[in-house]
Structure 1
Amino acid sequence: MKRILLAEDEENIADFVCRGLESFGFEADRASRGDEAWEKLQTKDYDLAVLDIRMPGMTGLDVCRLLRRQQGYALPVIMLTALGTTDDIVLGLQAGADDYMVKPFKFTELVARINALLRRVESYRQTPPLTCGDLSIDAVSHKAKRQDTEVDLSTKEYRLLEYLMRHEGQTLTRRQLLRDVWDKDFDTNTNVVDVYVRYLRQKIDEGFEPKLIHTIVGVGYCFSREDRL
């Protein structure tokens, strides 16, 4: 039985979600404060954590940052937020969350996302490092290495870079990247893809030649070891 930690300070939401998770065969553990959630994460074994952003004691963002800093990316995290702007989404993902849901949400969608993340974790554990030229990425550690330089990747940075590398030489539209990397039907006016491409370029392209991530004007991006200009 998979064990899930739910950190949520609104009692009615926490009760509803915990009962629902148990009805789907999960073991649900609950924390009503951020510092309580962090203590549980340090002392108990979980398969996934669901963290509300706004909690007393410590925010969900702070809990997630501490978790990633001290324990890496082995535990998948879903962030719950009442804030749904691009900046808020990016802030949560940069803290290390694998996914997020905006309140109010449908419980069946939460369960679907939990199951998707649990499947992804299992597949990562069986995935060997992916290499393209002088760049390699490791699914377990979420580290990228280019030449002799090693950098940490957030969960979404890793997923985006992996997707680009597996589609080397192909032109990928922003809509395609939003659908396949973020698993959501975003408003097409969002710039979250451009934000994350900028993050990746800073980590794996700046100071290196050849450049690997290329902008296809008016369309999207292409990962290629060849100059696309």
Structure 2
Amino acid sequence: MARVRSQTRRQGAFNPGKITLGNTTLDVEAAEVQAGNTISLSPKEARLLRYFMKNAGKSLDENSVFRHLGEEGETEDQDEVWLYVNYLKRKLASVQSDLTVEGQRGGPYRLVHGGVNTYGSH
């Protein structure tokens, strides 16, 4: 029983239902992000934001972001990374998040915390 409880705790730690950073909460299961208000995310946007939030402040190259964007067996064009990063920037700004994604096409990308996010100012 102790092993089962331990395994359950570990799974919760590695795959939390909600992740909070700054004023922003990502509900992984519902694929919603909330700060000043709430907005729905596509499954890819939710996976991408989860990856960024777990690696906040770290410089992430385009290949690592690309691997976390798609699902197993799915073929993507790496240009989609830039597209989804921009979708995420806009959605973070729309909920008045104090998080934003920095970076240019081709990476590296970095989720930063601080200040009110206004799309296009970072």
TM-score by length of 1: 0.39
| Residue 199 of structure 1: how far off its partner (Å) | 1.0
Q: What is the aligned-residue RMSD (CA, Å)?
A: 2.9
Q: Retained in 1: the 8 A contact 2:60–2:109?
A: yes
1:223 aligns with 2:111: yes
Match of 1:142 in 2: 31
**Residue from 82, 101, 115 that aligns with 1:194:** 82
1:67-86 pair list within 5 angstroms: none
Establish whether residue 131 from structure 1 lines up as the match of residue 9 from structure 2: no
1:154 and 2:42 matched: yes
Q: Distance in 2 between matches of 1:217 and 1:195?
A: 9
Q: Quick check: which has more Rg, 1 or 2?
A: 1
How many residue pairs match? The answer is 103
Percent identical: 22
Higher relative contact order (CA 8 A, sep 6+): 2
Write out per-residue CA displacement over residues 115-167 of structure 1, whole angstroms, 9 at most, x where no aligned residue: xxxxxxx97xx6231000011011221111012x1000111110000000000
Residue 216 of structure 1 contacts residue 222 of structure 1 at CA under 8 Å; is this kept in 2? no
Measure the CA separation in 2 of the matches of 1:218 and 1:127. Answer: 29
Which AA in structure 2 matches 1:201?
K
Which residue of the partner structure matches residue 42 of structure 1? none
Give 1:186 shift.
5.9
Give the deviation of 1:206 after TM superposition. Answer: 4.3
1:145–1:151 contact (8 Å) kept in structure 2: yes
Q: Which runs of 5+ in 2 are unaligned?
A: 1-10, 116-121
Stretches of structure 1 that go unaligned for 5 or more consecutive residues are: 1-121
Pairing of 1:16-165 with structure 2 (within 5 A): 127-147=16-36, 149-165=37-53
- Report the CA distance shift for 1:184/1:173 in structure 2 as closer, same or farther (over 3 A): farther
Q: In the alignment, residue 224 of structure 1 is paired with which amino acid?
A: V
Take 2:42 and 2:74, find their aligned partners in 1: how far apart are those partners?
21
State the TM-score, normalized to the length of structure 2.
0.69
